[in-house]
Amino acid sequence: MKAKLYKWDITSELKTPEDRAAYIEAAMEANDPEFMAVALGDVAKAEGMSKVARKAKVTRENLYRAFAPGGNPTIATMMKVMKALGLTIRVAPMGAA
């Protein structure tokens, strides 16, 4: 008997602002810029890419392209999307809790 495989999509797990913030924080802790961009794109998809694009004043197509694997969003785009999602980045010294 063959096992059925299903593609899992993280966006279905990102239901609350706290879930979304925790996911972005974990991506930042991984210290991988590509993962950070993909994670931010996942959160934008969970919120609704069209809604986020409208709030960020960028095109939906540009968001998909910027936050796809291999995409390279500018810091300006990332900041606009973070603001549109109601998220912020905090800076702390390395090793600080």
Flag whether 89 is in a domain.
no
CA-to-CA distance for 42 and 94, rounded, in angstroms? 26
List, as one string, the DSSP characters of 39-74: HHHHHHHHH-HHHHHHHHTS-HHHHHHHHSTT----
Residue 50 lies in a domain: yes
User: Domain for residue 6, yes or no?
Assistant: no
**80 in a domain, yes or no?**
yes
Residue 25 lies in a domain: yes
CB atoms within 10 A of CB 40: 27
Q: Is the pLDDT of residue 93 over 70?
A: yes
Count of domains forming the chain: 1
Tokens matching residue 43: 């959160």
- Which residue has better confidence, 83 or 8? 83
pLDDT tens digit sequence for 10-38: 999 999 999 999 999 999 989 888 899 99
Which residues form the domain of 64? 15-84
pTM of the model: 0.84
Residue partners of 9: CB distance under 8 A and separation at least 6: none
Per-residue pLDDT of 77-90, as tens digits, reads: 999 999 999 998 88
